[in-house]
């Protein structure tokens, strides 16, 4: 028995298989974590790009003729949101995200004013800067953006400001990184003169993408 035990202790057969049996689970965990991290990074990038595109597209709205200033219509805003849905294919964005598009303008007192605001997506979240009508009077509303670095609109023009939110949908499971809420903002000044009096909705009327 003693000799057999010594022989077994000196036997190096199947050592690699035993080592792999211990290592494979760890390698699998590291691999899945890497995949999840890469997917999360990609989601952040996509959300940022979607926000930039939405703000850019909203700044280019120009319906009308040479006889009048271009108008913004509800159908034009809805087309901007259609572009969001196309860019977000595969993310189930409508159910797990929200885009808030605000027209930042000057009020009659010279202050900043969220003249109108439209939303897309079922995520129940409000603008971090206030609802439509914020800053309608006075000069107390500094603008939209980080404190001390607010985006402001000049007189006679408007800034299309986009806030975009998305609850990350994990590939492997929420145990790795949970379901963090991704947030991004983007702003573009309108590209040309625009009728800023209202958002038009001529017949046949389009659905209003209200934030309420």
Residue 169: what pLDDT? 87
**Residue-level pLDDT at 178:** 72
Residue 34: the pLDDT is 80
**Side-chain-side CA neighbours of residue 107 (13 Å):** 19
Q: Is 50 strand, coil or helix?
A: helix
pLDDT surpassing 70 at residue 176: no
d(CA 172, CA 178): 11
- 80 versus 28: the higher-pLDDT residue is 80
pLDDT digits (tens, 9 = 90+) for 9-51: 665 555 666 667 777 777 777 777 788 888 889 999 999 999 9
Nearest to 187 by CA among 112, 115, 116, 101: 101
pTM for the model: 0.84
* pLDDT tens digits along 145-175: 999 999 999 999 999 999 999 999 887 766 6
Backbone angles phi, psi at 206, to 5 degrees: -95, 160
For residue 93, with 0-12 CB atoms within 10 Å meaning exposed, 13-18 middle and 19 or more buried, which class applies?
buried
């Amino acid at each position: 028995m003693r000799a057999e035990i010594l022989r077994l202790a000196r036997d190096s057969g199947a050592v690699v298989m035993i080592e792999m049996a211990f290592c494979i689970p760890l390698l699998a965990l590291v691999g899945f974590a890497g995949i999840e991290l890469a997917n999360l990074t990609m989601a952040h990038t996509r959300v940022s790009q979607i926000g930039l595109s939405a703000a850019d597209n909203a700044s280019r709205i120009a319906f009308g003729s040479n006889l009048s200033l271009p108008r913004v219509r509800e159908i034009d805003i809805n087309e901007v949101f259609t572009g969001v849905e196309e860019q977000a294919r595969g993310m189930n964005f409508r159910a797990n995200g929200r885009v808030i598009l605000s027209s930042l303008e000057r009020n009659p007192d010279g202050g900043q004013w969220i003249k109108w605001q439209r939303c897309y997506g079922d995520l129940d979240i409000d603008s971090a800067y206030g609802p439509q009508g914020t800053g309608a009077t006075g000069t107390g509303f500094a603008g939209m953006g980080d404190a001390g670095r607010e985006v402001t609109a000049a007189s006679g023009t408007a800034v299309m400001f986009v806030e975009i939110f998305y609850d990350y949908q994990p590939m492997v499971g929420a145990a790795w990184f949970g379901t963090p809420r991704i947030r991004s903002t983007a702003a573009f000044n309108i590209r040309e003169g625009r009728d800023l009096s209202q958002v038009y909705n001529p017949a046949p009327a389009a659905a209003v993408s209200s934030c309420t």
